Amino acid sequence: MSREIMNSRIVSLNVGTPVEAMHGNKPVQTGIFKKSSGSRHYLSTTGLSGDGQADLVNHGGPDKAVCVYFERHFPYWEEWLGNKLSSGAFGENWTVSDWTEHDLCIGDVVQAGEVIVQVSQPRQPCFKLGIRHQRPELTAHVQQTGFTGFYFRVLQEGEVGAGEGLTVLERHHAAISLAEANRVMYKGKNDLAGMTALLAVEELSDSWKQTLTSRIERLQQAGLGGNTD
């Protein structure tokens, strides 16, 4: 992966508050339904003003202040789903141009106007994404493709809006891309070296650190590990 990266921009800023949706015959609260906003919003360490999540255990919080999805993946999903998608279709707060999971690394620092953010982890899509598109298999397919999007934590608060340019201020020295992190999480569950390298990145989110630590301990206890897939 090249250490150079082009600038990006926020194509759309999307917010929404939790609503009730049906999961089979069961009603659930979800914040997956985001709408594009033409206004500027204040971004704090816990998220954007006007936005909210229903499940505060698995969504939101300092490590998941901003959910980001890549505009470049939309054509693939439009063909797969068979319909046109609008910004916010994946429950993301920022729909961004140009980049993909291969371009950004865990710990990279990015500026958007007066806001400074840092890549904390890939997104782990939950079943509510399937509810959003009425395709229960979508969640697993997002994991399989690696087209997950990711989260930012906030290093410097401020106002932000659609059209804001995104500039990488600092590339993390470990250079573990979001794509590689996804590979380790979903396809490299016996890859002890890969998990150890990812876990060593201090800027990785706490939830991913906990998952990786548990997996490594199980592998070591079983005397396994070493496979890359």
The pLDDT tens digits for 126-173 are 888 999 999 999 999 999 999 999 999 999 999 999 999 999 999 999
Contact 99, 72 (CB under 8 A): yes
Contact 76, 82 (CB under 8 A): no
Residue 218 confidence (pLDDT): 94
Q: Where are the domains of the chain?
A: 8-173
Average pLDDT, integer, range 86-110: 98
Q: What is d(CA 16, CA 53) in angstroms, rounded to the nearest whole number?
A: 8
pLDDT digits (tens, 9 = 90+) for 17-76: 888 777 778 888 888 999 999 999 999 999 999 998 766 666 678 999 999 999 999 999
Q: What is d(CA 198, CA 184) in angstroms, rounded to the nearest whole number?
A: 8
Kindly state the percentage of the chain with pLDDT values over 90.
79
Average pLDDT, integer, range 188-201: 96
Query: On the CB side of 62, how many CA atoms lie within 13 Å of its CA?
Result: 6
Average pLDDT, integer, range 208-219: 96
Residue 216 confidence (pLDDT): 96
Query: With a threshold of 0.75, does the pTM exceed it?
Result: yes
Residue 46 confidence (pLDDT): 94
Identify the bridge partners of residue 144 per DSSP, sorted by sequence position.
none
Residue 224 confidence (pLDDT): 73
Contact 34, 46 (CB under 8 A): no
Residue 229 confidence (pLDDT): 53
Higher pLDDT, 78 or 1: 78
Kindly state the percentage of the chain with pLDDT values over 70.
94
The amino acid occupying position 38 is G
Residue 55 confidence (pLDDT): 64
Residue 27 confidence (pLDDT): 82
Tokens of 63: 């490590």
Residue 43 confidence (pLDDT): 98
Identify the bridge partners of residue 68 per DSSP, sorted by sequence position.
94, 150
Q: What is d(CA 131, CA 124) in angstroms, rounded to the nearest whole number?
A: 15
Average pLDDT along the chain: 93
Residue with tokens 């199980």: 218
Residue 206 confidence (pLDDT): 97
Question: In the structure, what pLDDT confidence band is assigned to residue 1 with cuts at 50, 70 and 90?
Answer: very low
CATH class in words for 8-173: mainly beta
Question: In the structure, what pLDDT confidence band is assigned to residue 201 with cuts at 50, 70 and 90?
Answer: very high
